[in-house]
Amino acid sequence: MPSEDELYDLAELFKVFGDSTRIRILFVLFEKDVCVCDLAETLNMTQSAISHQLKILKQNKLVKGRREGKSVFYSLADDHVRTIIEQGIDHIAE
């Protein structure tokens, strides 16, 4: 059995997946690295709203940023993120 701290951290991670906007952002990042301005346009949201969600995703190590000039391009932090989402999709499809 995981420790109490590990269980708490796992519960916090799953809370992050409880927001459909964050899930939509992750799906866009499945395809390519994207800057905030492109995410905002794609999802028809303000850059401020996207930045807020990206901050939460970054704090939980689900996305990472890469600076290119004045822009920051975001991508999935690693393949575990893709696997978690894909397994979730498989689960609800059953």
Give the CATH number, domain containing residue 78.
1.10.10.10
**DSSP bridge partners of 72:** 67
- Structure tokens given for 82: 């893709």
Domain count, the chain: 1
The C-alpha atoms of residue 48 and residue 9 are separated, in whole angstroms, by 27
Query: pLDDT tens digits, residue range 48-83?
Result: 999 999 999 999 999 999 999 999 999 999 999 999
Query: pLDDT tens digits, residue range 1-59?
Result: 999 999 999 999 999 999 999 999 999 999 999 999 999 999 999 999 999 999 999 99
Give me the domain span that covers residue 73.
4-93
pLDDT at 70: 92
pTM (two decimals): 0.91
pLDDT at 54: 98
Phi, psi torsion values for 67, nearest 5 degrees? -85, 135
pLDDT at 46: 98
